[in-house]
A and B are shown apart, each in its own frame.
Chain A
Amino acid sequence: KAGVTQTPRYLIKTRGQQVTLSCSPISGHRSVSWYQQTPGQGLQFLFEYFSETQRNKGNFPGRFSGRQFSNSRSEMNVSTLELGDSALYLCASSSRTVGNTEAFFGQGTRLTVV
């Protein structure tokens, strides 16, 4: 069973640009959550998509957005990049069946904004 796949693995962008990150969940998983990880802040929840609908949203500005496709693949977009957006972006997939909320993480996308 393939794991969670995130692309690209590394990305360097300049301030003001926008970026799109991709996450393919484990086959059969309908929930995809996105997290930002920085040394000082730890893992912070961005949003969760389930069956193409955003179900939860963390405390991030509107520059951070996402979507989920019918095959459960999800994309996250960050517009007007700022230096502080440099971070490891992790996505996690989950089946979200009753009694099973275990989340499996991808390897992440390391975004550097210069």
Chain B
Amino acid sequence: EDKVVQSPLSLVVHEGDTVTLNCSYEVTNFRSLLWYKQEKKAPTFLFMLTSSGIEKKSGRLSSILDKKELFSILNITATQTGDSAVYLCAVENTGNQFYFGTGTSLTVIP
């Protein structure tokens, strides 16, 4: 059965801390892995990863994929209260179907 597992389920950190969110997957016919940030309702796109070992970076956020070990990490450095959200990982297969993890809830305390 195809599945995406995220860890930890929730995380509470102080402003300025660095966090690493994990996403492991077992999805046949992998095409891409995507990270989303969900604050209230609509998830907003962060990164799409298709190749192993190539880091994607956007400001304080970065992500990398390991297709051999079937996982990805999302790093957030110098966290701010505005980073508080649920971070979703999704894997798309070549049949255009997305599988989502249940998310990691991040709370950044001032």
Contact = CB atoms under 8 A, between A and B. Distances in A.
A48 B41 contact: no
B45 A103 contact: yes
Interface residues of B, number: 22
A90 interface: yes
Nearest to A50: B96
Interface in B96-110: 96-103
Nearest to B47: A102
Interface in A55-91: 55-56, 58, 88, 90
B42 A90 contact: yes
Interface of A: 4, 31, 33, 35, 41-45, 48, 50, 55-56, 58, 88, 90, 96, 101-108
5 contacts: A45-B99, A56-B97, A90-B41, A102-B34, A106-B42
